[in-house]
Amino acid sequence: MRKTFLFLLAIVALTVTAQNPIVQTWFTTDPAPLSYGDKVYVYVGHDEDKADFFWMYDWRIYSSSDMVNWTDHGTQLSLSSFSWADDRAWAAQAIERNGKFYWYICAHSRLAGGMAIGVAVSDSPTGPFHDAIGKPLFDNGSWDNIDPTVFIDDDGQAWIYWGNPRVYYAKLNKDMVSFDGEVKTLEMTEQTFGGPVINQRKEGKQYKDSYVEGPWIMKRKDLYYLLYAAGGVPEHIAYSTAPTPEGPWTYRGTIMPLEDTKSFTNHCGIAQHKGHNYFFYHTGKLPGGGGFGRSVAIEEFQFNKDGSFPIIHHTNEGVRPIGTLNPYQRTEAETIAWAAGVKTENSRKSGVYVSEIHDGDYIKVREVDFGSSSPTAFTVCAASALQGGQIEVHLDSLSGQNIAVATVPNTGDWEKWQKIRTSVAQEVTGKHDVFFAFKGFKGTKLFNLDWWRFWLD
């Protein structure tokens, strides 16, 4: 009894301060962040609930302007977007060029039978994306073709790298959807990547490290960095640097050592945004997760003075906010700092909304800045095909000051949306975390939630 109580206490303590993993509604993997305009977008893979392998079907997109409240843009690409792909929607990365967004993916090819690299394109960072060329970008029947990473150099030349257990690379033409020249391979030695490729290692010999997969290419102050999952299973994150995109590469050591994250893979991406450096990676720490149920997490870091990476450890706390949320404009319900119990859905009719809301579930948003005048009213847009329920609005904790209660009725359908306006009973000013606590008939789905906002008059 005492043990159960302590366990519950630990869960509550964790969720009060936790910001990692950044998404709690779905398992998310292989993060590829993109700093674009005012926001960071993160393009992720998606582990299926209760999977026993990387049975992955689609990719998802999240964005944030404050690094703590993440908006779910849903599934914007899946195996069915590529006529040639039939399995394993594995790691991917998106990049912008001339106002178009190119999302490089890998998937199993029904054409050549191995893994292949593909590319989708969109006019917006959040889609819709479609297969840019109607065929793989690179497909030679090899299983090595996974985990593409791309960047555009200062001279305008775009480069793509990928591979397990070797790194392949090529120049991309300006159209971003074809190669300029041959596919080449990076040389793997103790000097370049800590050790030779797996089938060339001498039995019994200790090497400094070994490249496995998940490369991430970036450039900073004229130095090229290749970060990667290393060491075998379980994986840590290591890196090499070079004075040119093609080398010569020098192994530089570990960035994220092995940690008790419950995931035997790791996969990283870097965002440099508004003067901050963010290290994205994945763990298996979401309840019910593990090696095949992974979740994206973020840590902030600073480069060492000599340009090297510091050692970065996993934390539950994650990163600090770099902005605030304005409660006097419509905020999508799927903009979430932390959620318990709920899922999101994206439908053709309604776009993305919060679903699977049951009694006891909640959503937290952080850094909500009410300013110096108190709101008088609160509106939610919700839908229910059953009896509906209540949304209690609490400040700073689930049991904090209750400033409003909205009652959602049966609206006739799960996507028949109704605006419900209610008064704000208490004075609220300044910055707060806001908790939406869902109450109602136990056991059944209560309602779906599309958006919310506060009113000053």
* Residues lying near ligand FUB in the complex (CB under 6 A): 29-30, 45, 54, 90-91, 146-147, 213-214, 265, 267
Decide whether 64 or 149 has the Cβ nearer to ligand FUB: 149
Closest CB to ligand FUB among residues 29, 331: 29
Closer residue to ligand FUB in complex, CB, 172/212: 212
Cβ at position 82, least distance to ligand FUB in Å = 16
Nearer to ligand FUB, 33 or 45 (CB): 45
First-to-final CA distance of the chain: 50
Would you say 77 and 59 are in contact if contact means Cβ atoms under 8 Å apart? yes
Query: What residue type is 102 in one-letter code?
Result: Y
Residue type, 341: G
Q: 151 or 378: whose CB is closer to ligand FUB?
A: 151
Q: How far is the CB of 30 from ligand FUB (least distance, A)?
A: 5
The minimum distance between CB 446 and ligand FUB, in angstroms, equals 34
Query: Hey, which residues does 158 pair with through a beta bridge?
Result: 152, 172
Residue 186 near residue 209, CB atoms below 8 Å: no
Cα pseudo-dihedral 231, 232, 238, 242, rounded to 10: 90
Separation of alpha carbons 314 and 52, rounded Å: 24
Least separation in angstroms between residue 267's CB and ligand FUB is 4
Closer residue to ligand FUB in complex, CB, 258/456: 258
* Nearest distance from C-beta of residue 268 to ligand FUB, angstroms: 10
Q: How far is the CB of 32 from ligand FUB (least distance, A)?
A: 11
Q: Which is nearer to ligand FUB, 60 or 267 (CB)?
A: 267
CA–CA gap between residue 363 and residue 369 (Å, rounded): 17
Min dist. Cβ of residue 212 to ligand FUB (A): 8
What's the order of all strands across the beta sheet hosting 250-256?
211-220, 223-230, 236-242, 250-256
In angstroms, what is the minimal distance from the CB of 113 to ligand FUB? 18
Q: Is 393 exposed, middle or buried (0-12, 13-18, 19+ CB in 10 A)?
A: buried
Kindly state the smallest distance separating residue 381's Cβ from ligand FUB, in Å.
Answer: 35
Cβ closer to ligand FUB: 36 or 57?
A: 57
Nearer to ligand FUB, 29 or 93 (CB): 29
